[in-house]
Amino acid sequence: MPADPARPRRLHPPAVLAAIIAAVIAASGCTVATPPPNPPVTIAPRPFTVVLTGKVRTLDPAVATSEVDSILVTSLYQRLMQVPSGSDGELKPDAASDCVFVSRLRYECTLPDSLSFANGHVLDSADVRFSIQRALRLNTPGTSVGLLSSLSRIETPDPHTVRFELSRPDNQFGYALAGQAASIVDSETFDPDTPLPLDTLPGGSGPYQLTDPPSADQAVLTRYERYAGPDRGILDTVRLSVVADSATAEAAIADGEVDVAWNCLDSAAQQRIDNEMASNGGATASGFTRTPLPGVKVTRLYWNTASRHRTDTQLRQGVAKALQADRTLDSVVPQGVAEHVKAFPVGGRPELPKLEASRIHLSLGYDAADPGQADVARMLRDRLEELDGVSVRVVVGTDADLVLTTRPAWVNNALGWLQLYLDAPLASSKAKLTLLSDHVRTVTDAARLADLSELQQQAATDVTVLPVSQGPGLLLLGRGVTIANGGYGTGQQLGMWGLNHG
C-alpha cells in the first residue's frame, strides 16, 4: 500500500538516533576509536635578543664599516691589542700575551699557546701576518687601515712571535693593532684578495662564534668556549635582530620582544621612551631602563674626496660658517677625549661669504639605517642653502659631495678621531700634516699636546671635516639585563661579551 503523503513522518530525537547508530555498530562488531589527545605544544624560549637598525652586509673585518657589521666583527674576532672602555685610552693585550717596542722601529708581539679559531684551526703568527697584509692589500676606505701607515714589513720567526718593522718611529702603533682592520682571520678560510662571502662562516677566535651564516636581518651568536682572552662571554646565546627603522624597533621594545636596544630610535621615539620612564618610576611599562652614554654620539660632516667642489676654499669656508650657529661640538676630536682642543667657532650669527660663481649644486648623503639622520640632513641642507647661489640635494649613501656620519673613531683617542681628516689631506696642507703626524708619534706630554692642538687647529682651517654635534648614545636594557664594565669595543661598539641576564 503506498504511503499516505498527507501523514506526517515520525522523526527520531537526537538521543534516540544516537542509540540506534550505536546498536547498528555493535551488531556489526565494530568499535569507534577514541581520538588521542592533542600533544602539548612546546614553545622554545626566545633567545636573548639585541635590536638595532641597519643590515648585516659583511663579516669580513677588512671591509666592514657599518655599525651592525662592526658589532659582529668585534665579537667574532680578536685583535692583538685592545683599548677597553673605561680605561682612559690605555692599551691592553687581547690575543697577544704581550706587545712591546724592542727598538724605535721594531714592535714585537708574543702569542700564547692556547689560541685557536672556532673552526678548530690553530691561530699562530702566520695568521696574524696574513690578516694585516690582507687588510693593507684590500685597503678599504673608511676602515682603520690608515692607522697602519707606519708599517714596513712583518716577520714571523716562530709560530708565537710577530715582529713589526716600522718605516718611522710610531708610539701609536699598538693602537693601530687594536683597530678593527687588524682583526685576526684564518688564513685557511679567507681569500687573500677578495672579501669573505656572507654565507661563509668566518671561524674567528673572539668571545662569540656563528654556527649558521647570518641573514641581512639576523645573526645568532653562541659563546666560543675555547676563547682565550680578557672578554669571555657571559651569555650562551645572543641574537642580533636587525630591523629596518625606528618604528619597528620601538614596537619591539614596547612589546617586550627584545632584551637590549642599541642606537635604534630616532629623536621622537627616544623622547616618548624618556617620557614613559619619567611617569613610570624610571622604567618603561615593558621594563626597559636607559643606560647613560654621555657624549657617545658624535655627528660630523665631511667632504667626499671625489667631489669636484672640495678644492673650492671659499665654498668650504662658506659651508663651515653656514653650520656654525647650530654647531655644538668645537673640534674634530670630541669633548671628553684626552687632548681635545677647541678649534671651531660655535654659535653666533657669522656673516656668510658671497660666493663668486654661478649656481652651485651640491649633494648631501646620509645613512638611512641611522635613525634621525634624515631629519639632520634636511636641517643641514636648509642651513647650507642660506649661502647665495647654493642648492643642496639630500641623498641616501656616501656617493655625495658632503657626507653626514655618526661613525665613531676606530680607536677612541685623539689620533683615532683625527684619522678621517688625516687620511684625506688637501694638497696645500699635506706636507704640514705629514710633519705633525710623524712628530706627534715620537713625543709625549706637553710636546704631544702641542702637536695635537696644531692638528686640530689646522682641521678648522681646512674645514674638510666639520664637527656638527655631540650628544648621548642610546642603550636600553630590559628587565634583569646588565652590562659589565668593559662591554664595549675599541671603536665604542657594543660588545656581546658584556651582556648578562639573570
Model confidence pLDDT, tens digit, residues 479-497: 999 998 778 999 999 999 9
Q: What residues contact residue 175 under an 8 Å CB cut-off, 6+ apart? A: 81, 83, 91, 147, 411, 413, 415, 416
- The CA distance from 502 to 490, in Å, is 26
Between 432 and 203, name the one with better pLDDT: 432
Model confidence pLDDT, tens digit, residues 70-120: 999 999 999 999 998 876 778 999 999 999 999 999 999 999 999 999 999
In degrees, rounded to 5, the angle at the alpha carbon of residue 95 between the alpha carbons of residues 93 and 96 is: 60
Q: Return the C-alpha cell found at 10.
A: 515520525
Residue with cell 688625516: 422
Which element (helix H / strand E) includes 134? Answer: helix 125-138
- Nearest of 245, 192, 158, 196 to residue 76 by alpha carbon: 196
What are the structural domains of the chain? 49-234+474-501 (3.40.190.10), 297-471 (3.10.105.10)
Model confidence pLDDT, tens digit, residues 136-164: 999 999 999 999 999 999 999 999 999 99
Rg (CA), the chain: 30
Phi, psi dihedrals of residue 226, rounded to the nearest 5°: -95, 10
Instruction: Report the percentage of the chain scoring pLDDT > 90.
Output: 87
Residue 35: the pLDDT is 57
* pLDDT at 350 > cutoff 90: yes
Q: How far is CA 401 from CA 186, 319, 347, 391, 407, in A?
A: 38, 12, 24, 12, 18
Residue 84: the pLDDT is 86
Over residues 317-334, the mean pLDDT reads 97
Task: State the chain's mean pLDDT as an integer.
Answer: 92
DSSP H stretches of helix in 193-291: 246-254, 267-278
Quickly state the pLDDT bin for 195 (edges 50, 70, 90): very high
Of 14-18, 29-33, 409-413, the least confident: 14-18
Q: What is the DSSP string of 5-59?
A: TTSPPPPPPHHHHHHHHHHHHHHTT--PPPPPPPPPPP-PPPPPEEEEES-----
Q: What is the DSSP letter of 116?
A: B
* pLDDT at 334 > cutoff 50: yes
Q: Return the C-alpha cell found at 416.
A: 683615532
Residue 9: the pLDDT is 42
Residue 133: the pLDDT is 98
Model confidence pLDDT, tens digit, residues 128-137: 999 999 999 9
Q: How far is CA 498 from CA 207, 235, 264, 408, 465, in A?
A: 10, 9, 19, 19, 33
Of 7-16, 261-270, 271-280, 317-326, the least confident: 7-16
Which element (helix H / strand E) includes 457? Answer: helix 445-462
Model confidence pLDDT, tens digit, residues 268-282: 999 999 999 999 999
The model scores a pTM over 0.85: yes
Quickly state the pLDDT bin for 44 (edges 50, 70, 90): low
Quickly state the pLDDT bin for 34 (edges 50, 70, 90): low
Residue 357: the pLDDT is 74
* pLDDT at 300 > cutoff 90: yes
Of 37-46, 255-264, 306-315, the least confident: 37-46
Quickly state the pLDDT bin for 352 (edges 50, 70, 90): very high
In degrees, rounded to 5, the angle at the alpha carbon of residue 357 between the alpha carbons of residues 353 and 360 is: 90
In degrees, rounded to 5, the angle at the alpha carbon of residue 468 between the alpha carbons of residues 467 and 472 is: 105
Quickly state the pLDDT bin for 187 (edges 50, 70, 90): very high
Q: What is the layout of strands, in order, in the sheet containing 390-396?
A: 390-396, 360-366, 402-405, 297-303, 465-471
Tell me the residue type at 500. N
Over residues 394-398, the mean pLDDT reads 97
Residue 36: the pLDDT is 61
Residue 502: the pLDDT is 81
Instruction: Report the percentage of the chain scoring pLDDT > 70.
Output: 91
- Nearest of 415, 456, 426 to residue 316 by alpha carbon: 426
